[in-house]
Amino acid sequence: MQNHTDSNRRIARNTLLLYFRMILTMCITLYTSRVILAALGVEDFGIYNIVAGVVVLFSFLNYRLLNPNCIKPHEVAFDYNPDV
């Protein structure tokens, strides 16, 4: 019974810490977006966002396509047997 109580407390504490981190990250992001918008202006801020989106997209694709540990869709859809 003691293990379940300790586990529940640990889960609750970790959940609260994760929510706190999420709120802190959101506040920092909102503040820095405002500062960057004031420094760059509306048009340059839009270009900044587009460039940042493209960089994130290519970073994700680079990780996804070049990481051999990722599960490939054809491995999930079929009975994948690399020895055949």
Pair (74, 50) in one structural domain: yes
Pair (49, 74) in one structural domain: yes
Pair (31, 4) in one structural domain: yes
Contact 62, 54 (CB under 8 A): no
Q: How many domains does one find in the chain?
A: 2
Is residue 6 predicted with pLDDT exceeding 60? yes
**Rounded to whole angstroms, how far apart are CA atoms 37 and 42?**
7
Give me the domain span that covers residue 50: 41-84
Pair (36, 62) in one structural domain: no
Mean pLDDT of 21-43: 96
Please report the pLDDT score of residue 56 as a whole number: 94
Pair (79, 55) in one structural domain: yes
Q: What is the pTM of this model?
A: 0.60
Pair (47, 84) in one structural domain: yes
Is residue 35 predicted with pLDDT exceeding 70? yes
Pair (34, 53) in one structural domain: no
Could you say which DSSP state residue 70 is in?
A: S
- Mean model confidence pLDDT for the chain: 86
Mean pLDDT of 27-31: 96
